[in-house]
Amino acid sequence: MNEGTALGATGGAAPGATPGAALGAAQRGRRSARISGDDRQDAILATAERLLAERTLDDISIEDLATGAGISRPSFYFYFRSKDDVLLALLDRVIAEVQAQVAGLPRSFEAAPGASWRRALGVFVDVFAAHRAVSAAAITARLRNSEIHDLWSASMQTWVTYAAEAITAERARGAAPDGIDAHDLAVALNLMNERVLSAAFSGESPAIDHERALDVLTSVWVRSIYAADLEEPPHEHPNYR
């Protein structure tokens, strides 16, 4: 068995699909590893995320994962077929966290638009930072693995749909001017988030210091959506993150 490649591939979700539909299609389309809730499976995943913070997926062996989980190499294959399957399971967990966080975000920014956008972007930054090793591995692996590509795309589509709906609502209430198509603007801004945070957390150069990334991203989003700075700086609002 090839340690570095997951078995099987799927196509992307249909254009215009909702985030939930896109994610569901991606999950149904791949042959998932056994999701049993077994402590040993959780130990494999915990070991993988810890090791990914130290080295690349290619530099991690099945033996490393099995040893870290306290099981034998043959036992590893009861839970996962490959290292890519482990990464897929980790990414599934991150996406579930993303969807739960986005579901709880406000859709109305009338009270304090700047603070509301900062709070929403803070969720993006927090999830990315909390799972930076998984995110970095997935960004790399998606170029060669269509299953990882589809799951990552489903996660990003969740953010795009949320942002597009919020931008449309802000325009409808007259707070933001018409301009670039709301969906296209949401795509561009979210892809910017992804690239800026990827560089910040991976030590690339050039990069924005990760402690200032939220400030910079919030300013770019607000200026892009409202075509101006808002009168109320986000940090003056009591709900400032």
Q: Alpha-carbon distance 61 to 149, whole Å?
A: 22
Question: Six-digit token pair at 75?
Answer: 């036992």
Do 16 and 35 meet the contact criterion of CB atoms below 8 Å apart? no
State which fold the 34-80 domain adopts: Arc Repressor Mutant, subunit A (1.10.10)
Q: How many CB atoms lie within 10 A of CB 222?
A: 21
Residues 49-81: tens digit of each pLDDT: 999 999 999 999 999 999 999 999 999 999 999
Q: Does 191 have pLDDT greater than 90?
A: yes
3-state secondary structure the chain: CCCCCCCCCCCCCCCCCCHHHHHHHHHHHCCCCCCCCCHHHHHHHHHHHHHHCCCCHHHCCHHHHHHHHCCCHHHHHHHCCCHHHHHHHHHHHHHHHHHHHHHCCCCCCCCCHHHHHHHHHHHHHHHHHHCHHHHHHHHHHCCCCHHHHHHHHHHHHHHHHHHHHHHHHHHHCCCCCCCCCHHHHHHHHHHHHHHHHHHHHHCCCCCCCHHHHHHHHHHHHHHHHHCCCCCCCHHHCCCCC
Residues of the chain with CATH 1.10.357.10: 19-32+83-236
Residues with Cβ < 8 Å from 157, sequence gap 6 or more?
13, 17, 19, 22
Residues 115-168: tens digit of each pLDDT: 999 999 999 899 889 999 999 999 999 999 999 999 999 889 999 999 999 999
| Predicted confidence band of residue 231 (pLDDT cuts 50, 70, 90) | low
Q: What is the pTM of this model?
A: 0.77
Q: What is the mean pLDDT of the chain?
A: 83
Helix axes 39-52, 83-103, angle to 10 degrees: 90
Lowest mean per-residue pLDDT among 4-13, 36-45, 89-98, 190-199: 4-13
pLDDT at residue 230, rounded to an integer: 65
Lowest mean per-residue pLDDT among 26-35, 91-100, 120-129: 26-35
Residues of the chain with CATH 1.10.10.60: 34-80
Question: Six-digit token pair at 133?
Answer: 């090793």
CA dihedral of residues 48, 68, 4, 11 (deg, nearest 10): -40
Question: Six-digit token pair at 89?
Answer: 């399971």
CATH number of the 19-32+83-236 domain: 1.10.357.10
